[in-house]
Structure 1
């Protein structure tokens, strides 16, 4: 039996477990088991809270694949740490596979946090693209539903941004995510420009499918929009279950501010995995 909590950030939901309660587990198998909506608790991903030697967020997608970072996940991680007395100071670092992220708690009731998400990289080598050029910007990719103009970067994890008037089907999104040019697959963000300060985004996450929100995807969308002159350096991202405030600072650092909500706590009665 494993003690867990479930949180969501703008509808993107996670099972959170302390490492001490899951020690000895195969985290990939555990993620698939607990995230199953049919036989588990149901979630988009599993977060392991590692406290030793440093505070670290260990993140797995629902399909068992490990991801370097998750924007909505790290806000939920911060809320969990506050709720459980692991970290109560206003500003502190969190280690991830994508590097150190800085948490800045803005409010605690309701919980609102700003995360320093680092700087984007446009180097193809940093996100596993095989196209023979240094970057992967404004490229045409074919699907069974037509061609899409895409641009990719590394923003805590690999992200591809597509500007659209209407959100496409899951079939087309999946074909872009799994396109052979991406050696590690890619998250795909379909972005509608409402105005220069407002974006609406629908993200197809590799290993998950369409989700209600993606924090790193919102950051990547702002970065691409600013590069292409489609938006200002600070935008509100509209999502079905909330909104995020994304800003790129003059030094290139990207920040994300948004909520995290505790949904449930309990005991996962483990089957054989």
Structure 2
């Protein structure tokens, strides 16, 4: 059975559209199980009697506090840098626009550890920029700043693509009317564009924060794992996995809960109609 114009209900008449062929249920169920069963395994594996002690140990609290602080900082950087980037990619047409967009979005698909190595060879002591910075007494690699840069590197494309989509959804007639009324580019941006894309901007910031909070590969390659300095929660989980599996599971559940909260917040910004 397949959908045809006569069998597909229109949303306008108040009826729900057909879900499609029934055979789609099997692969859909397998896909859902692939995602949900491992999460359920984490929940079932948690030692609930020891959970409070495991997540409030000094190392766990230190890693969580560092993760929240650096993820918040990197999210601010993503907003400050990402909004102009999205504006450039969506509103301006120039030769090489498509290539530039692909390069900007590259961190979304490349292995994070590769991004960490690239950052190390850029800001490390013998890196492209790091050597000159070291001569000035500035050291970034293996510091908290390195954690922020690594998180920003991997999270920035998520904000850019979300804001760019919001910009594409703007009604050009509204902007044209403002220009005809004598508003300059900055005034249009401040009074028209930014208020209209605020929901998309918030969603992009939420996604960027979530990506930064869960970052592992780029962080360990560029910043290392120094407790209280660069050891974020994902790195703490990785280390605890070898020495204290119960702690690793408890901390993993914290990240899962944070991810669920983020997905819920992002979904609330774009409710289904």
TM-score by length of structure 1 reads 0.27
Instruction: Pick the structure with more strand per residue.
Output: 1
TM-score using structure 2 length? 0.27
Larger Rg: 2
